[in-house]
A and B are shown apart, each in its own frame.
Chain A
Amino acid sequence: MTVRHRRWHFWMWLVLGPVVLIGLIISWKGIAP
C-alpha cells in the first residue's frame, strides 16, 4: 500500500468504525421493545 492509501484507510476507519458501532447501538435502542 502507498503512504496515501494507508492514510486514507486510517482516517476512513477512524470515522466509519465508530459511526457503524454507534449506529448499531442507536438503532437497537430505537427498535428494542
Chain B
Amino acid sequence: MSVQYSPVKWNHNKRVYDIVMALGIGGYLAIFFLVGKLVWPGSDEIILLRALGTCAFLVLHVVLCIGPLARLDSRFLPLLYNRRHLGVATFLVGLAHGALATGYYHGFGNVNPLLSLLGTNTAYTSLAAFPFETLGAIALLILFVMAATSHDFWQKNLSPSVWKGLHMLVYPAYALLVMHVALGALHAEPNPLYLGILAIGVTLVVGLQFATGFKEYLRDRSPSPITSEPMREDATDESWIDVCGVDEIPNNRAKVVCVAGCERIAIFRYDGKISAVTNVCAHQRGPLGEGKVIDGCITCPWHGWEYRPHNGQSPPPFNERIATYRARVVNGRVQVIPVPLPPGTPVEPACIEEVQHVA
C-alpha cells in the first residue's frame, strides 16, 4: 500500500524476487544459446530468437501456474507476491523476440517491416501456411496493455473490477501464443518431442486451473453454512446463522465460511474477540481469510494490504474499506448475519470471554 505514486514500491522481498527472476531469465537465455550453438548449426540470430521465444513462453507458464498453485498450497504464496514483475518480464522478453523476428525476417526489404509482417502472408484459411506471426503479434499487444497498466495507479483509476477484467485477457493471450507456437515453431520443426513439451505445458496450466476451480467449487458447497438459501438484504436478528465453534478459529487467524449466493465471510479471532469481514480484499480480490492479524490489522496474504477487523478500514493514512458483518458468540459458537454492511462500517467485536446464553 502507498499514499503516493512511485513507479515501483521497492522492499527487500521485491528486490530478492527480481534478482532471482533476472538471474533465472539471464541464465536460461545463456544456457539455451550455448546449447543451441551445439545442437543447431546456423545463425546466432535464429538461436537467440528461439531462446527469447521459449523463455517468454516458459515464464508465461510460470505466471499462469502461480495463481492456482497458491490457491492449492499456501507455500506458493511468496511467488504470488510480486507476480506482476514476472508478467512485465514476460512482455519484455516476448517483445525482444518479436522485434528480433521482425527485423530478421522482414527488415531487409523495401516494405515497412511491420507491414511486411502483417501483410505478406494472408493465407488465413490454410493450416499449413497460417500466418502465425499475427497470433504472436496480437498476444504481444495484449501483454503490452497488461504490462502498461500493471501499476496500482491504473488499478485505482480503472476500478478493481475493470482492471481485473482487463488482466484476465492473459488467458486468451496464452491461447493465441499456444497456437502461435503450434503453427510456427512446430511447423518449422515438426519434432514429436517439441509437441510433447508444449502439450505438457498446456495440460499443466489447464489442469491446475481446473483443479483449483474444483477445489473452490467443493468449498462453496461445503456444509459450513447452516442455511442453503440466499440471505435477503432485510435480514433481521432472526437471521443469525451458526457458522462454527470459537475453538475452530486459531488465534490471529480466520475461518472462512460460505453462504449460498453470498460472498465468503472471513471470521477472525484476535485479542479475545471475534470480528467478521468479507473474504475479498479491496486490492486484487485476494482471500483475506487466509491472512493473519498482524499488529492489530488483517493482512491480505497476497500483497499485504491491511484492514482493521472491527471496521474493515485500512489504518491511516490509507482509505481502503471492506464490508463488515455482524457477529456474536453464543454458547461457544460463532453466529453471523450473512448480509454485508457497507464497506468500512464499524461493528462491535464479539467478546469470546463473555459467553452469551440464549434460551
Q: State the A residues within 8 Å of B (CB).
A: 1-3, 5-6, 8-10, 12-13, 16-17, 19-21, 23-24, 26-28, 30-33
Contacts and interface: CB of A to CB of B under 8 A. Distances in A.
What DSSP secondary structure best describes chain A's contact surface?
Answer: helix
A4 to B, nearest CB: 9
B172 A16 contact: yes
Nearest to A31: B187
Interface in B142-184: 164, 168, 171-172, 174-175, 178-179, 182-183
B199 interface: yes
B127 interface: yes
Given A10-B217, A13-B206, A23-B178, A30 B127 contact: yes
What DSSP secondary structure best describes chain B's contact surface?
Answer: helix
Contact of A28 (B164, B195, B263): B195
Nearest to A33: B190
Interface of B: 127-128, 164, 168, 171-172, 174-175, 178-179, 182-183, 186-187, 190, 195, 198-199, 202-203, 206, 209-210, 213, 216-217, 220, 261-263, 280, 285, 287
B7 to A, nearest CB: 28
Nearest to A28: B195
A31 B285 contact: no
B127 A17 contact: no
A13 B127 CA distance: 24
Contacts of B172: 16
Contact of A31 (B190, B209, B280): B190
Nearest to A29: B127
B168 A8 contact: yes
A8 B167 CA distance: 13
B350 to A, nearest CB: 25
B190 A30 contact: no
Given A16-B171, A16-B175, A24-B179, 4 more contacts: A1-B287, A6-B213, A20-B179, A23-B179
A2 B182 CA distance: 34
B186 A31 contact: yes
A25 B262 CA distance: 40
A3 B217 CA distance: 10
